[in-house]
Each structure stands twice: as structure tokens, then as C-alpha cells.
Amino acid sequence: MTVPFHSGYVAIVGRANVGKSTLLNAMLGQKLAIVSAKPHTTRIKLLGVLNGEAFQAALLDTPGFLRRGRDQLDAAMSRQLASALAEADVALLVVEPRPPGDVERLLVDQIAASGTPALLAVNKIDGVAKRKLLPVIEAYTVLHAFADIVPVSAIEKDGVDVLLRALTERLPVQEAIFAPEVLTDRPVSLLCADIIQEKVFQLYEQEIPYDVAVEIEEYEERAEGQADHLRATVYVDTPSQKRLLIGAGGQALKEVGVQARADIELLVGGPVYVELWVKVSPKWRRKAGFVQRLI
């Protein structure tokens, strides 16, 4: 008997810092989305394509839910989330193991309004006793008619296989959307910008990260055996942030480059020379044209 082939888009949604990007990476079996302990690390809708024997899942990681947009960046992030839900054949709401809050209720309202079938992943179960999960699951069962509810730990990869089966079984029966070799639709330059931004988030305290944007000025692929060349500009909001990011003798910025280069070389599969510059662009988050250029 022929096994039907399932293919389609899955929108991964949830509040900031709930572990959506970590879950995407766990399902893909490799790192694609940047991860940070700071909220709103993800600013774009990021596609990761997962192929199995009888399925292809186009997984869409999204920015954390924003109740009120403060500026052009927040507005752009909200549009990314709405766009993913509009494209999705299945919505995956990712939550922490606690009763639904206002953010989750608003997201459920969006999912219900879209009419998209939805699954619930209760993430971070590695940090809670199993007996405490049942009331959480019951609360979400009352909130919405989820097609399935799966407890997972993205960081431990516990329950991820179960979640994948539940997701792919609910995708439409149709041919694959992407060629087998496609992992994402994002160009290498933008993935590199994400990696550099991630390292800034990880290496600095609260003074900088939310006011940082990274733009790849040049990515030149060199001949085999030679290092590719990447030149990027890190934009900050104030001169004091620029000084802090560069550090004494340029050592702080050098460390960003060293750590970013390691991940970028894994991404492209070869040596890369990384050149970083820092520029001040006051209130860049409020500049629509600037934000659109980066997202």
C-alpha cells in the first residue's frame, strides 16, 4: 500500500523566550535559528525545511508575540508573525508549563480567527514535575480545541519526535513544496547577520542588545581553498553604545567576530574572513526604510 505524502507550512508561534527557535533547531536536527536568553532575539520569519520519508514540513519560526508595537521594528516583527499564520497549514503554539496568560489567550484568538488547525507544545518540561503538567494541559484544553497537545523539552529534545509525528500527520496530502536540498529560503548573508547579532546578544548586557542591528555590506565567495570575505556593519543607537561594543583596544568587538566566524564557517562549510564595523544610527528602530532593509 502506498503511504500518502504530507507537505505544508507550520507556523511556530508563542510569547517571547518560550523556546520557539530552540524547538525549530531541535526538529531540524541542526542549528538554523539564533538563540539567546534575551527576549525578541528572533526578528524575522525564518523558514526551516525538514524532509522525512513521507513528509516535508516547512517550519516557520516567528518573533515573539508583541501586545503593543513601540516602533517600526516592533511593527515589522508583528507583520512577520501575522504573515506566518496566514501561510500556515498548521499552527503550533509553544507555551511554558504554566496556565495560559493574556499573551497566550490573544494568540489563541488569532489562531481561531485564522481557522488554521492548531497543535500545542508545552515546552520546558525538563524544569517541572510531571504532576504539575496535567492542570496546565487541562486549562489549554478548555481554552481551544487543539488537534493535539504534546509536552516537550526542546533543549533536551524530549518529546520532539512525538511532536513531529503529530504535526506532519496533519499537513495536507500533496507533493513536496521545496526541493530536497533546500534548508531555508534565507540567503547566506542574512543568516550571517543573524549569527553576528546573536553573539552581541550573548556577550553584552542590557546596555546594547535591543538597540543593535546588523547589516551585511559584502559577502564575497572566494575560490576553493581561499577564505570567503564578509564585511558587516553593526548599528547602535548612541555613541556610548558604540564605545561599549568596540571595547578597550577593540577587544570586545574582536571577540564578537571570533565567535561569529566559528558559526559562520560551520554554516558555509569553509573558512571565512569576518570584518566588523560599528556605526551610530540614532533611533534606527523608528526608521521604516532602515528596518525594511534589514528584515
Q: Are residues 150 and 198 in the same domain?
A: no
| 61/42 Cα distance (integer angstroms) | 8
Residue 179 lies in a domain: no
Query: What is the rounded CA–CA span in Å between residue 40 and residue 209?
Result: 10
Q: Tell me: do 30 and 65 sit in the same domain.
A: yes
pLDDT for 86: 84
Q: Is the same domain home to 125 and 51?
A: yes
Amino acid symbol at 189: S
pLDDT tens across the length of the chain (295 residues): 678 999 999 999 998 889 998 999 999 998 887 665 554 455 567 889 999 999 999 999 887 655 555 555 555 556 667 778 888 999 999 999 999 998 899 899 989 988 899 999 999 999 888 888 999 999 999 999 999 999 999 999 999 999 999 999 999 999 999 999 999 888 888 889 989 988 998 888 666 666 788 999 999 988 887 899 999 999 998 999 999 999 989 999 999 999 999 999 988 889 999 999 999 998 877 777 777 777 6
Helices and strands per DSSP (H, E), number in the chain: 9, 9
Q: Within a domain: residue 182?
A: no
Q: Which domain holds residue 154?
A: 6-168
The single-letter code of the amino acid at 162 is V
Q: What long-range pairs does 169-173 form, CB within 8 A, spacing at least 24?
A: 169/6, 170/6, 170/89, 170/90, 170/117, 170/119, 171/6, 171/7, 171/8, 171/10, 171/55, 171/57, 171/89, 171/90, 172/6, 172/7, 172/8, 172/89, 173/4, 173/5, 173/6
CATH value at residue 76: 3.40.50.300
* Residue 234 belongs to a domain: yes
- In sequence order, which residues have a C-beta less than 8 Å from that of residue 204 and are 6 or more positions away? 244, 245, 252
Q: Are residues 164 and 194 in the same domain?
A: no
Could you tell me if 12 and 81 lie in one domain? yes
- Write the CB contacts of 265 (distance below 8 Å, at least 6 apart in sequence): 271, 272
- Is residue 41 one of the residues assigned to a domain? yes
Q: What are phi and psi of 183, to 5 degrees?
A: -100, -40
Tally of structural domains, the chain: 2
Strand-strand pairing, 213-220 and 148-151: unpaired
> Vertex 93, ends 173 and 101: CA angle to 5°?
155
* Predicted pLDDT at 25: 92
Kindly state whether residues 135 and 257 are assigned to the same domain: no
CB-based contact 82:88 (threshold 8 Å): no
User: Does residue 278 form part of some domain?
Assistant: yes
pLDDT for the residue 1: 66
